[in-house]
């Protein structure tokens, strides 16, 4: 069983889980180490949605790599907020933080962590001066800047900060949390060799994938599942996270906009249950239009609560040059939150028998979109007329690669074949419940091995 952590914080939220939180290995750890060791580093901002583990990951990194950590929460620590309001020069800030915390701040061996920096405009501005006047200090910040920054008020330190983006645990990180590192390595081996994994392990991998569709990658939810092994008990944690999202909608948007943001968010399960998963404004509100909901969708994207997949009209490079901005799909940033929000029966996910249900297809696509977003792979899909559609299209170096995702009975092999012929693709990919393989220029990848897939 992984080691329990005493450093889990969640900025005061979900404190009931703090004593029992199980340490989870995250991929961002290596990026944080690279930032620390970079001689040209600038103050770091770690961006991401609420409750994806920003605070935990930075504190664990600090514990392992520094003598001490000065951790302040700028939403709640009024004494520290007052320090920034009076003066934002590094010398003054360091001096006052030492006095308040009773600890020496070393230029080489102390991590200064400014959590929830979006709550204090002056603290955000101070990063510019740490970069220019005191770059030897290690200063990191956690934020929801995407939704919090009012551009008429805040001055973002452009070019004076490094930025990292965090996402929910991907499936490989979920395997690590489940103490399945050896299985993850076996998956990588079969992926690279296009070699079928043994049938018992294949069924085991699919079962873990089904579990992930319910649990998702929010650390508090995964932690609850690790401790209790119950799909029922995780609902309460997921509901609390949803309530925090809703609270942010009210806090960082006008009342009228907040209502529209909630309407868009609530409509996503319905949008993904349709055969045609193009986002339709009318499903959020009768008579809805781009003018009415455009700002609300941008808010959800900035909050990293949803992911946007744009339609392309041509499968040629650059894909970004062929976007149809009027046609797109929205996915949730965490598949477990989608399953909970849709109130979808868990037994239908856990059932390995294919059933004809539109939401299962949307759920499978959401899983792929979530994985690609964490890898910074742009999300595109292709559609021609009312019949031919390819779920995802990826630019891999000088090649265009179409990807089909298949969970239920829907079969778009004809669309995939047509796309390959039309745009002369070297191969295509099918992500499904099928074992590894490579036939007829189609690379088959089981859902549980998607984390192995990467593109240049």
What is the residue-level pLDDT of the chain in tens, covering all 456 positions? 444 433 333 333 434 344 577 889 999 999 999 999 999 999 999 999 989 999 999 999 999 999 999 999 999 999 999 999 999 999 999 999 999 999 999 999 999 999 999 889 999 999 999 999 999 999 999 987 776 654 445 578 889 999 999 999 999 999 999 999 999 999 999 999 999 999 999 999 999 999 999 999 999 999 999 999 999 999 999 999 999 999 999 888 899 999 999 999 999 999 999 988 999 999 999 999 999 999 999 999 999 999 999 999 999 999 999 999 999 999 999 999 999 999 999 999 998 666 678 899 999 999 999 999 999 999 999 998 767 799 999 998 889 999 999 985 455 567 898 999 999 999 999 999 999 999 989 999 999 999 999 876
Angle at 47 between CA 279 and CA 210, to 5 degrees: 55
3-class secondary structure, 430: strand
Domains defined along the chain, listed by start? 10-165 (3.40.50.300), 171-452 (no CATH)
Q: How far is CA 74 from CA 17, 63, 80, 81, 276, in A?
A: 22, 20, 7, 6, 44
CA distance 48 to 251: 17
Q: Is 379 exposed, middle or buried (0-12, 13-18, 19+ CB in 10 A)?
A: buried
> How far is the C-alpha of 364 from the C-alpha of 249, rounded, in Å?
27
**Residue 47 in 3-state DSSP?**
strand
Starting at the earlier edge strand, list the strands of the sheet with 388-390: 323-332, 306-312, 380-384, 388-390
Query: Taking the complete model, does pTM exceed 0.85, yes or no?
Result: yes
């Amino acid at each position: 069983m992984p080691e329990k952590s005493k450093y889990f914080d969640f900025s005061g939220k979900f404190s009931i889980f703090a004593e029992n939180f199980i340490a989870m290995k995250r991929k961002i750890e290596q990026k944080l180490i690279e930032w620390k060791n970079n001689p040209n580093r600038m103050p770091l901002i770690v961006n991401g949605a609420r409750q994806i583990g920003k605070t935990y990951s930075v504190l664990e990194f600090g514990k392992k790599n520094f003598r001490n950590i000065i951790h302040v929460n700028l939403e709640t620590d009024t004494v520290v907020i007052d320090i920034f309001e009076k003066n934002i020069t590094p010398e003054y800030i360091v001096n006052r933080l030492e006095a308040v915390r009773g600890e020496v701040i070393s230029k080489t061996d102390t991590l200064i962590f400014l959590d929830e920096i979006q709550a204090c405009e002056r603290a955000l501005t101070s990063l510019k001066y740490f970069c220019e006047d005191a770059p030897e200090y290690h200063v990191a910040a956690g934020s929801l800047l995407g939704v919090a920054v009012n551009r008429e008020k805040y001055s973002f330190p452009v070019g004076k900060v490094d930025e990292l983006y965090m996402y929910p645990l991907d499936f490989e990180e979920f395997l690590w949390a489940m103490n399945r590192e050896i299985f993850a390595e076996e998956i990588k081996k079969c992926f690279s060799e296009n070699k079928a994994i043994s049938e018992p392990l294949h069924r085991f991998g699919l079962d873990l994938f089904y579990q992930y569709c319910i649990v998702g990658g929010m650390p508090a939810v995964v932690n609850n599942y690790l401790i209790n092994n119950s799909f029922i008990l995780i609902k309460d944690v997921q509901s609390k996270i949803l309530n925090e999202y809703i609270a942010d909608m009210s806090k960082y948007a006008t009342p009228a906009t907040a209502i529209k943001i909630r309407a868009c968010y609530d409509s996503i399960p319905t949008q993904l249950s349709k055969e045609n998963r193009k986002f339709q404004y009318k499903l959020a509100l009768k008579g809805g239009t781009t003018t009415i909901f455009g700002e609300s969708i941008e808010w959800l994207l900035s909050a990293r609560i949803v992911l946007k997949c744009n339609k392309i009209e041509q499968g040629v490079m650059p894909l970004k040059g062929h976007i149809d901005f009027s046609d797109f799909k929205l996915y949730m940033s965490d598949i477990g939150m989608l399953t909970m929000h849709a109130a979808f029966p868990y037994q239908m996910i856990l059932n390995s028998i294919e059933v004809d249900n539109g939401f299962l297809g949307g759920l499978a696509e959401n899983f792929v979109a979530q994985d690609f977003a964490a890898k910074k792979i742009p999300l595109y899909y292709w559609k021609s007329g009312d019949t031919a559609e390819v779920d995802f299209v990826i630019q891999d170096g000088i090649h265009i690669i179409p990807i089909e995702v298949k969970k239920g009975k829907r079969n778009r092999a004809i669309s995939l074949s047509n796309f390959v012929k039309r745009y002369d693709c070297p191969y295509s990919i099918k992500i499904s419940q099928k074992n590894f393989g490579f036939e007829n220029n189609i690379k088959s990848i089981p859902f549980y091995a998607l984390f192995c897939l990467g593109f240049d």
